[in-house]
Amino acid sequence: MSTLQFILLMLVLLSTLFANESLESIYEHILIKNTQKAILASTQMQSDIKSDKLEMLANDFAKLVQTFKTIESFYILGDLDDNYLDTPRYMDTFHQGNEDIKVQLDLILNSDEDLSVSLYKNSHKTINALEYILFKKDLKKQRVKKIALIIIKNIQVNLDEILLGLKESRDLFVQDEQKTNAIMLNALIESSYKLKEWRVGDPAGLSRKYKGKPDEKKSEYFISKNSFVAVQAILNTHLQVLSQQEFKNFGSLIKSYELNNELSDALMYLNASLEEAKKIKNDDFSQAEVLYENLKKLHTTYYISLIGKLKITSKILDADGD
């Protein structure tokens, strides 16, 4: 082996080692830890419901929203194992189907049917159903309290499933750098689209689908006024994935590919979006135009600049993002 060949081999080995360390770090510090935090949030809420600490539940719910979004906005487990593809949907009905779970929950509350029978749909046991029960019903009533506990238990079961799946799928994530890069970037692209169009654009009347037709009821958590808690949690998760941290992350990998300009653009729009989101109080979507424009630029940076330079094939989102 020539000296040049030896140097090239060492460079390849060092590059592979750095990539493996980065992927292991992402898995542990972001995927695993964020799921564990969501489980803790759900456990705290369960404890406070059982103990009738009703004054704590608004904060508990905001924390559950925040931690759940860290999982949902960077969900890669379904790409590693098909068995977990739909798990987040068992906890979240936003932009899924056309049923009105509020009407269904009212019928269940007003009936005498055993709750193990009447709460048969997944949609009855989601974070959206929990929001309605917590903020529109009286938890001093035993049937309401029992429903809330059934819902939070279902959320816990699904979060535990995600944590188990992550522990079982670690090797699949680490072993193929190119495939994993595609999974991670596509997760960011899908998340940024849904953030831009569904979570901000639709209620603000700025999206393609609802241009000029603002309606706060199209926001994700309009009942509890936690929609911007969700928006900020998603943006902070993207920053956790891409910005400089105390641990190696996807941003570290992108830097190693010498894509500094593309990464800098993404971080610029992420930080600008987060600053705008922080300015908006009481879920006032009439103030969201600058935020929406920054989110458009963020999505374009992911979808065109980074995906082109990383030579990754994107998943196709249809016009409604469904």
Give DSSP secondary structure letters for 113-130.
S-HHHH--SGGGGSHHHH
Angle at 39 between CA 118 and CA 236, to 5 degrees: 115
3-state secondary structure of 107: helix
3-state secondary structure of 259: coil
pLDDT one-digit tens code per residue, 223-256: 999 999 999 999 999 999 999 999 999 999 999 9
Question: Which residues does 83 contact at the CB level (< 8 Å), separation at least 6?
Answer: 165
- Measure CA 163 to chain center: 15
* Token pair in block for residue 218: 């199209």
Q: How far apart are CA 253 and CA 244, in angstroms?
A: 11
Q: Is the pLDDT of residue 317 over 60?
A: no
Average pLDDT of every residue of the chain? 91
* Token pair in block for residue 52: 């009738």
- pLDDT band, residue 173 (cuts 50/70/90): very high
3-state secondary structure of 212: coil
pLDDT one-digit tens code per residue, 259-294: 999 999 999 999 999 999 999 999 999 999 999 999
pTM, to two decimals: 0.92
pLDDT one-digit tens code per residue, 187-230: 999 999 999 999 999 999 999 999 999 999 999 999 999 999 99
Q: Is the pLDDT of residue 69 over 90?
A: yes
Residue 9: the pLDDT is: 37
Q: How far apart are CA 301 and CA 295, in angstroms?
A: 10
Q: Which residue spans within 219-270 are E strands per DSSP?
A: none
The mean per-residue pLDDT over the stretch 296-320 comes to 79
Residue 312: the pLDDT is: 76
Residue 314: the pLDDT is: 67
Percent of the chain exceeding pLDDT 90 equals: 84
Percent of the chain exceeding pLDDT 70 equals: 91
Residue 319: the pLDDT is: 40
- pLDDT band, residue 31 (cuts 50/70/90): very high
The mean per-residue pLDDT over the stretch 127-152 comes to 98
Q: How far apart are CA 63 and CA 40, in angstroms?
A: 10
